[in-house]
């Protein structure tokens, strides 16, 4: 950009506030001001330039402020923007058009843009100003909360006052800091502004499953400091909570003090009054974001804030933009729980009908609010599963393409991009329509990053990205197979790169063939590839940091924070001595014992620090890891076969043992299950497995691609009447071909269906060696078999690996105090703190329609 305006004629815009909206204004103005009409001075109260305040919770755990920095927030190389960090505007001389800063500087302006945002409201509860009381608003706030939590120690209690969006984010932060979080909400449900009673009940159940104590329908009467330094909160129902710290998240208020003190009109409930062009009562002063009361209304979401920033940038350059109203839709993940709300979510429209699918067993709630004739979508709520949000939200105010119940039923209609008109708003954050996106695609935007660059869609919250992909597919664009934004290659291509180059670390792979530092998609995927191409232990070196929770601790994480232990039992066989050891371990460590559907024994309720002690006993008894935690072979199920059964035609147990020992520890794109049946009666249910073997009079039939789960698939016959040697050879080839070419987290059934040429092609590759790779596939499997070593045995021999198995890194001797059990009945069950009693039978899977107001 080459400015053409004479510097002496250049005007000055002063921006007070450098949050997300203030930064968006500067970006918008500078990107449009080709002539260089405006010089911009930005006052930032914080010492850090603009960062992603919406993603504030991501700071917890990483404590890396740079990761939240907004792109271009320092305006490097732009001579027309001056950023002053650590300076705030304290007063305005409207007659002289000057702003005085906290440093005593005076800055003249032609246009003043107030982007002062909001502050956290702290109710005047006695004791609210104690040092142990915090708000949840800035990075500095989080640093203070972190210091207090670490001083209190693991298992200390913390209270969040307020159960809205930020309140639950704050509670999650306390949980991540090792505390037991309590949430106190004055309303009868969590997130009352976004969801209704049904959604609130499901949300409360889901978050209490994660260890939160929830107190709804009560306020806070007082906070007192006890002699031991802890805080005692008395609630309005006279109950009490003793905690180490309190976080206030009871709402926000606009920061309008600088405007109020200078005589600019403010609203009776706060906020700087503006017209639809965001101009205040002073024609040279504008207000944007949360501090602005547009025609008397304040908006607390980033999307309308961005809209106000764009409008003022347009106005300063001679435009006539006006605020079009705000889409208050929200979609977010709270503590890993999907929550979405859009349109008239509460059904306040005259004659509105509500269609509800409430599945308490699955922990999902979906409601659509429709017109009185059930033809127009007015709004909706999704809790537990919000995958339909990107397709439903643009339909608000429009005719429904199918029956309302079908749109939220798991077995119902799927909304395609073609069901939306061109003027449907796809990206509410940046006000981008379907027509604008399709236009960008027609002009050459051939992938999601290109669409983002051309239209700004998907660049804020990211909730519309699934719809961007649908629009690309609908337009005939061949979608990129890039694993993620850090690798342009597919998983299969990365597998080949690792094989050919011999790279053995994630850092080495991303340095040569990727970009950035990686994410939760590519890290575990590369970890799986590295494990599939060598016999290195998955906790060696960099590998450990790439694993998800289950693989990191070599055990399955359960809902109350404990782990399950599953020793391998090839073919379901176990010796009497091993059974005795399992019983002794279960009794000594107080574990719940269950026989699994895969002919194994599962031990539930082990604390993380107990895992090495348990496995030491099991390994000494000759048992090894069953890999129930990994994307790898789980079990090879079998019937008793010809050894015992009068119908058996082959030794199914012997073959199952052989296969399980051969493929144990084999890392793959997804979990693998095998089965061997001794005759056509199929007692081992082999055709429901990824690899199923069924005995015949002449040998074995080999079936592949069977999966259970949400969309069950029967395995398909690959070859028949095989001898033992050929059977194993074909399975070797099939599994290695799948491991090399499947996408991340792709089961064998969809992988087979996606193969060009289908089963005929697969038979040619596996049975006829049409690609000439059979020897290579068999050699790779032979290398795996030769290099296998039990993962838990290797951990027990390595002090460094053993040091990982603690509840709290900063207090390794401490156990997690939130874990408890109830064994008063016939079964031992985990106690989930604050779990509300929701009748499972009531309304499970029901679809109802009720009249709204």
Q: Could you read off the pLDDT of 196-248 as tens digits, one per residue?
A: 999 989 899 888 887 889 999 999 999 999 999 999 999 999 999 999 999 99
Q: Could you read off the pLDDT of 400-433 as tens digits, one per residue?
A: 888 888 888 775 555 666 667 777 778 877 778 8
Dihedral sign (CA 541, 543, 546, 549): negative
DSSP string, 340-405: EEEESTT--STT-EEEEEEETTTTEEEEEEE-TTS-BEEEEEEES--TTHHHHGGGTTSB-SS-HH
Average pLDDT value for residue range 678-702: 92
CA–CA–CA angle 481, 483, 484 (5° rounding): 115
Q: Where are the beta strands (DSSP E) in 186-329?
A: 213-216, 220-225, 231-235, 240-243, 245-248, 252-254, 272-274, 285-287, 292-294, 297-298
Residue 6: the pLDDT is 84
Cα Rg for the chain, rounded, in angstroms? 30
Q: How many CB atoms lie within 10 A of CB 797?
A: 11
Residue 645: the pLDDT is 85
Q: What is the pLDDT confidence band of residue 467, given thresholds at 50, 70 and 90?
A: confident
Burial class (CB in 10 A: 0-12, 13-18, 19+), 613: middle
Average pLDDT value for residue range 301-307: 88
- CB 791 within 8 Å of CB 554: yes
CA-closest candidate to residue 335, choices 200, 167, 195, 463: 167
Say what percent of the chain tops pLDDT 90. Answer: 48
More confidently predicted of 223 and 524: 223
First CA to last CA distance, the chain: 55
More confidently predicted of 837 and 560: 560
Q: What residues have CB less than 8 Å from 136, skipping those under 6 apart?
A: 56, 120, 142, 145, 160, 166, 167, 169, 170, 173, 247, 248, 249
Domains and CATH numbers, the chain: 7-120+254-316 (3.50.50.60), 133-250 (3.50.50.60), 329-415+833-853 (3.30.390.30), 416-480 (1.10.10.1100), 491-528 (no CATH), 552-623+791-819 (no CATH), 626-789 (3.30.413.10)
Written as six digits, the tokens of 562 are 């404990």
Q: Around 840, how many Cα atoms within 13 Å sit in the side-chain half-sphere?
A: 2
* Alpha carbons 204 and 214: distance in angstroms, whole number: 7
Residue 573: the pLDDT is 85
Q: Could you read off the pLDDT of 642-685 as tens digits, one per residue?
A: 888 888 899 999 999 999 999 999 999 999 999 999 998 889 89
Residue 65: the pLDDT is 87
Average pLDDT value for residue range 250-257: 92
Residue 412: the pLDDT is 57
pLDDT over 80 at 781, yes or no: yes
Average pLDDT value for residue range 75-100: 95
What are the contacts of 320-327 at 24+ separation with CB within 8 A? 320/277, 321/277, 322/276, 322/277, 323/276, 323/277, 323/278, 323/294, 323/295, 324/431, 326/299, 326/301, 327/303, 327/425, 327/428
Written as six digits, the tokens of 843 are 């309304």
What letter would DSSP give residue 411?
A: T
What are the contacts of 48-54 at 24+ separation with CB within 8 A? 48/85, 48/139, 49/18, 49/23, 49/73, 49/74, 49/83, 49/85, 50/18, 50/19, 50/20, 50/22, 50/23, 51/20, 51/139, 52/20, 53/19, 53/20, 53/137, 53/138, 54/20, 54/302, 54/461
* Alpha carbons 223 and 481: distance in angstroms, whole number: 55
User: Distances in Å between the alpha carbon of 352 and those of 343, 380, 850?
Assistant: 12, 12, 8
Residue 842: the pLDDT is 30
pTM of the model: 0.57
* Alpha carbons 329 and 487: distance in angstroms, whole number: 32
Q: Could you read off the pLDDT of 155-176 as tens digits, one per residue?
A: 899 999 999 888 988 998 898 8
Residue 655: the pLDDT is 95
Residue 115: the pLDDT is 97
3-state helix, strand, coil in the chain (%, to 5): 35, 25, 45
Average pLDDT, the chain: 87
DSSP H or E run through 176: helix 165-176
Residue 276: the pLDDT is 95
Strand partners, 366: 357, 382
> Starting at the edge strand that comes first in sequence, how are the strands of the sheet with 691-696 ordered?
633-638, 672-677, 691-696, 699-704, 716-722
Q: How many CB atoms lie within 10 A of CB 553?
A: 19
Range in 82-86, 303-307, 405-409 the model is least confident about: 405-409
Say what percent of the chain tops pLDDT 70. Answer: 92
């Amino acid at each position: 950009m080459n400015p053409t305006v004479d510097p002496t004629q250049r005007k000055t815009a002063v921006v007070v506030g450098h949050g997300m909206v203030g930064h968006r204004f500067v970006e918008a103005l500078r990107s449009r001001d080709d002539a260089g009409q405006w010089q911009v001075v930005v006052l930032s109260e914080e010492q850090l330039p603009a960062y992603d305040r919406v993603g504030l919770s991501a700071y917890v755990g990483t404590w890396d402020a740079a990761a939240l920095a907004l792109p271009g927030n320092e305006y490097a190389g732009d001579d027309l923007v001056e950023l002053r960090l650590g300076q705030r505007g304290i007063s305005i001389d409207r007659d002289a058009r000057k702003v005085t800063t906290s440093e005593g500087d005076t800055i003249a302006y032609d246009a003043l843009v107030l982007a002062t945002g909001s502050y956290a409201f702290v109710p005047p509860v006695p004791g609210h100003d104690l040092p142990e009381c915090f708000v949840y608003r800035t990075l500095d706030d989080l640093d203070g909360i972190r210091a207090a939590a670490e001083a209190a120690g693991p298992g200390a209690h913390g209270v969040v006052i307020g159960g809205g969006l930020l309140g639950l984010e704050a509670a999650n932060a306390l949980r991540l800091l090792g505390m037991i979080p309590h949430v106190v909400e004055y309303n009868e449900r969590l997130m009352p502004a976004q969801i209704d009673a049904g959604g609130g009940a499901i949300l409360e159940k889901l978050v209490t499953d994660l260890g939160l104590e929830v107190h709804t329908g009560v306020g806070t009467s007082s906070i007192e400091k006890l002699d031991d330094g802890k805080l005692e909160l008395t609630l309005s129902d006279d109950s009490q909570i003793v905690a180490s710290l309190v976080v206030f998240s009871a709402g926000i208020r606009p920061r309008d003090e600088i405007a109020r003190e200078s005589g600019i009109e403010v609203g009776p409930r706060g906020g700087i009054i503006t017209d639809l062009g965001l101009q205040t009562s002073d024609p040279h002063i504008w207000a944007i974001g949360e501090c602005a009361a547009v025609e008397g209304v304040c908006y607390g979401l980033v999307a309308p804030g961005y809209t106000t920033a764009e409008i003022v940038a347009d106005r300063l350059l001679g435009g006539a933009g006006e605020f079009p109203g705000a889409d208050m839709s929200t979609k977010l993940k709270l503590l890993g729980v999907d929550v979405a709300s859009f349109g008239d979510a509460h059904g306040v429209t005259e004659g509105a009908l509500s269609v509800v699918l409430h599945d308490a067993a699955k922990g999902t709630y979906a409601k659509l609010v429709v017109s009185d004739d059930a033809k127009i979508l007015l709004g909706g709520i999704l809790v537990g599963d919000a995958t339909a949000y990107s397709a439903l939200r643009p339909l608000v105010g429009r005719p429904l393409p199918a029956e309302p119940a079908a749109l939220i039923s798991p077995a119902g209609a799927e909304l395609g991009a073609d069901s939306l008109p061109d003027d449907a708003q796809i990206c509410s954050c940046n006000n981008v329509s379907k027509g604008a996106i399709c236009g960008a695609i027609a002009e050459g935007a051939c992938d999601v990053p290109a669409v983002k660059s051309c239209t700004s869609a998907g660049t804020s919250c990211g909730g519309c990205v699934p719809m961007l992909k649908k629009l690309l597919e609908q337009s005939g664009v061949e979608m990129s197979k890039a694993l993620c934004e850090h690798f342009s290659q597919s998983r299969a291509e990365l597998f080949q790169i690792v094989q050919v180059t011999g790279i053995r670390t994630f850092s080495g792979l991303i340095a040569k063939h990727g970009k950035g530092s990686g994410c939760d998609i590519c890290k575990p995927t590369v970890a799986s590839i590295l494990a599939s191409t060598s016999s290195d232990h998955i906790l060696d070196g960099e590998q450990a940091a790439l694993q998800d929770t289950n693989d990191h601790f070599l055990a399955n994480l359960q809902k109350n924070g404990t782990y399950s232990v599953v020793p391998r039992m090839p073919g379901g066989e176990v010796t009497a001595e091993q059974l005795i050891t399992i019983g002794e371990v279960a009794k000594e460590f107080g574990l719940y014992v269950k026989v699994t559907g895969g002919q194994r024994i599962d031990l539930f309720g082990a604390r993380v620090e107990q895992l090495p002690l348990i496995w030491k006993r099991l390994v000494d008894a000759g048992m090894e890891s069953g890999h129930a935690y990994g994307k790898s072979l789980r079990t090879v199920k079998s019937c008793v076969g010809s050894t015992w059964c009068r119908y058996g035609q082959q030794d199914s147990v012997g073959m199952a043992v052989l296969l399980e020992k051969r493929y144990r520890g084999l890392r793959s794109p997804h979990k693998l299950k095998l089965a061997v049946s001794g005759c056509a009666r199929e007692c081992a249910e082999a055709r429901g497995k990824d690899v199923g073997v069924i005995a015949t009079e002449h040998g074995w039939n080999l079936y592949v691609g069977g999966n259970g789960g949400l969309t069950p698939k029967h395995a398909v016959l690959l070859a028949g009447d095989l001898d033992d040697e050929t059977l194993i050879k074909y399975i070797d080839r099939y599994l290695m071909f799948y491991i090399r070419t499947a996408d991340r987290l792709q089961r064998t059934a969809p992988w087979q269906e996606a193969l060009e040429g289908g089963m005929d092609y697969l038979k040619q590759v596996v049975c006829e060696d049409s690609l000439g790779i059979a020897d290579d596939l068999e050699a790779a499997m032979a290398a795996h078999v030769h290099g296998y070593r039990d993962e838990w045995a290797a951990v027990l021999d390595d002090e460094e690996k053993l040091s990982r198995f603690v509840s709290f890194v900063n207090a390794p001797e401490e156990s997690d105090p939130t874990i408890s059990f109830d064994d008063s009945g016939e079964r031992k069950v985990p106690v989930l703190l604050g779990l509300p009693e929701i009748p499972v039978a009531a309304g499970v899977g029901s679809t109802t329609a009720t009249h709204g107001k």
